[in-house]
Structure 1
Amino acid sequence: MDRPVRTIAGVDCAFLDGGRLIVAAAVMCDAGTMETIATGHVIRPCRFPYVPGLLSFREAPAVIAAIKRLGRAPDLLMCDGQGMAHPRRLGLACHVGLWLDLPTIGVAKSRLCGEHRPVGRRRGCRAQLRDGKDVIGAVVRTRTDVKPLYVSVGHRVSLADSIAWTLRCTRGLRLPEPARRADRLVATLKRDHA
């Protein structure tokens, strides 16, 4: 990474009304304390149709709008979704990171593609996620005896730094705090909209 990381924002999104609306949220945290600094969200019509493998084209415009509502750009962005660990090597983290030119990490709860060896059961254990000969990410255990996360490069960050920041931001739960808080905000917004 080319500059110190003082702020990290997590982003997440979900669909409402049968996919006609999308809710996206961004939560910016202090990189040292994990205290929330700012939040931003949008609820807007979803204009891109569902196309397998192109989900980021549906999600990215709303996610970018939520990030812009933070008031300033974070030093690092964590997307609840894939980066390079995507069949087209362009998951949400790549798409948003490229658009905003921000260092971006993909942190996903499930695997879209690739294979990996078994991951040890303790926090910090990891295995390469490979698609053929290519390393496309890592499978990282963020909490002992809990399902691992699928971490991949989005933009302007190495895989080693992506893993390190994911572990550094995980405070006793499975998800890194910025992404977890964005997930919670999306759930609240969905509930309030119903």
Structure 2
Amino acid sequence: MFSFRELPSIAKALGNLKTKPDLIVCDGQGIAHPRRFGLASHLGILFDIPTIGCGKTRLLGQTDEPGMKKGDYMPLIDNGEIIGNTLRTQDNIKPVYVSIGHSISLQTACEWVLRLSPQYRLPETTRQADHAVRMALAEYNSKQ
């Protein structure tokens, strides 16, 4: 399971912080998960921090394509239950899949994802983390 693989390093990083985060946006799912308990839910409950799942791919559920404008969305539905939103973060760009993790509403989660995505498809938190990992791997590989 993804969260069991990722959670130890995230827990270690959170343990090194001097200030508890007010919100965490995960590159993964919250309740839009087969067990309704993805990484964002797991992390939020363990640390009692509001969390949002913002995935690049859909794990399950049915949805229609949202309009082509930033902020357009369509519900992501599984077995008659809304488990998230398919959200367009930029005009004419592929949408992301937003779901609640812990202690946040779906509407507020989508508002945060939009605020954190001023220029690109993914929230800056995810974009910057992905960039830092790519740079660290390139440096590591150059020393091999």
TM-score, length of structure 2 as denominator length: 0.93
Which residue pairs with 1:12 in the alignment? none
Greater alpha carbon shift after TM alignment, 141-150 vs 57-66: 57-66
- Match of 2:100, SS state, is strand
Check if 1:93 corresponds to 2:67: no
Aligned residues, how many? 141
Which residue pairs with 1:55 in the alignment? 2
Aligned CA-pair RMSD: 1.1
Q: In the alignment, is the contact (CA less than 8 A) between 2:68 and 2:92 conserved in 1?
A: yes
Structure 1 counterpart of 2:24, one-letter code? L
Which residue pairs with 1:111 in the alignment? 58
Q: In the alignment, is the contact (CA less than 8 A) between 2:65 and 2:86 conserved in 1?
A: no
Check if 1:65 corresponds to 2:12: yes
In the TM superposition, residue 153 of structure 1 has moved relative to its aligned partner by: 0.3
Which residue pairs with 1:141 in the alignment? 88
Which residue pairs with 1:188 in the alignment? 135
**Higher percent of residues as helix:** 2
In the TM superposition, residue 188 of structure 1 has moved relative to its aligned partner by: 2.0
Output the CA distance in 2 between the equivalents of 1:79 and 1:119.
Answer: 22
Unaligned runs of 5+ in 1: 1-53
In the TM superposition, residue 92 of structure 1 has moved relative to its aligned partner by: 0.7
Output the CA distance in 2 between the equivalents of 1:189 and 1:72.
Answer: 25
> Identity rate of aligned residues, in percent?
44
Output the CA distance in 1 between the equivalents of 2:86 and 2:27.
Answer: 15
Of 52, 67, 73, 1:120 maps to 67
The C-alpha deviation readout for 1:155-191, integer Å capped at 9, x for no partner, is 0111010001101111111111122111212222222
**Higher percent of residues as strand:** 1
TM-score, length of structure 1 as denominator length: 0.70
